Amino acid sequence: MQSRELSWHTSKGWTGTGPEIPGAQLVLTFGSRAWITETGALAALRALYPQAHLVGCSTGGQIVGDDVSDEAGSALALAFGQTHIATARMAVGGKEGSFHAGQKLAEALIRPDLKCIFVLCDGLLTNGSQLVAGLRSIAGDHVVISGGLAGDGAAFERTLVHLDGVNDDGGIVAVGLSGEALRIGHGCAGGWSEFGPRRVITRSVGNVLHRIDGEPILDLYRSYLGEEAEGLPGTGLLYPLQISDPQKPERTLVRTVLAIDEENGAMTFAGDIPEGWNVQLMRGHFDRLVNAAADAATHAVAKLDADQSSMAAILISCVGRRILMGEGIVGEVEAARKALGPQTPIAGFYSYGEISPHAVSGCSELHNQTMTVTTFSEAV
């Protein structure tokens, strides 16, 4: 397998590190909504890689080298020797349609030797946990599902995904990677800490949370945020929720807010918030977040089970981490890069939700406020 890390700057166009790979079959690319629609970057990328599938999305910031940028674009070109690549797209069809869309995508990509589905989806309309559940229902739990929800900075207005030059809002694109030689590594970690009392979800519908301990969830957030509540939903990213099934308390998930409903005191999250589950507020600390990014990358390398000299990696982290860490966000990228090795080509973005196998169960899940790392290689 060969790979090349690229970045786009308006003044220079696309530049890359490492040797050219004109025979690339897959190019993953990330940029702001304006970058996707207002520059010629994707057309220029198509000229560089005329035979490749171009897959990407809008973001809350791009991982470019060891830095994070809102202006530059990020791309990773991949040329496989023994891996089959297929793509599919679907409309979300509303929040209730995420499970069905996941099923249809998996049906289009399924093969006996399917190893990984990499998926990017509208970050505001998709119920990420239902999308993953739909994919798993067809592909099975042995297939690694990774990817993320597209972002729109801190605006939360409109997100885009794109496949082979066509941009969609309200869409999902997926890549199926199949073959006995393909090796996939994965890791995810958060680094957030719980605070305040543990509460119970007393009313929710899918990914819309109405009440915890009988009280409107929006009232709780306003009490903690104070004057910052005027900035919701963006400021809510500083206080994600940790949820857990009381029957399986060791299996925790994190959920982050996407939208608020002033009239009903409800909040929409990126994934399901089941009634009866326990819930606790969380907050972040710089050192713990950076260490978690390093842990995610370390686990992704350890699980690769292949020659690391040809390894490439996709990093997807939560926009909430970026908002909290500010300019210090480069610390988590540098920590992940160090664990991956300086020669490993990388690309990635800041998302509204991350998809990766769970560190405890091993099953693919929607995460929030995590750093997820997916590594690709082929056995020699």
d(CA 31, CA 199): 38
The CATH number corresponding to 193-283 among 2.40.10, 3.10.620, 2.60.40, 2.40.128 equals 2.40.10
pLDDT of residue 94: 60
pLDDT confidence band for 31 (50 / 70 / 90): very high
Instruction: Give start-end residues of each CATH 2.40.10 domain in the chain.
Output: 193-283
pTM for the predicted model, two decimal places: 0.90
How does DSSP assign 332-356, residue by residue? HHHHHHHHH-TTS-EEEEEES-EEE
d(CA 279, CA 252): 10
Angle between helices 128-139 and 98-109 (to 10 degrees): 30
Degrees to nearest 5, angle at CA 204 with 202 and 206: 150
pLDDT confidence band for 335 (50 / 70 / 90): very high
What's the full length of the chain, in residues? 380
pLDDT of residue 18: 79
Q: Once rounded to an integer, what is the mean pLDDT over residues 215-234?
A: 90
Q: What is the percentage of the chain residues whose pLDDT exceeds 90?
A: 79
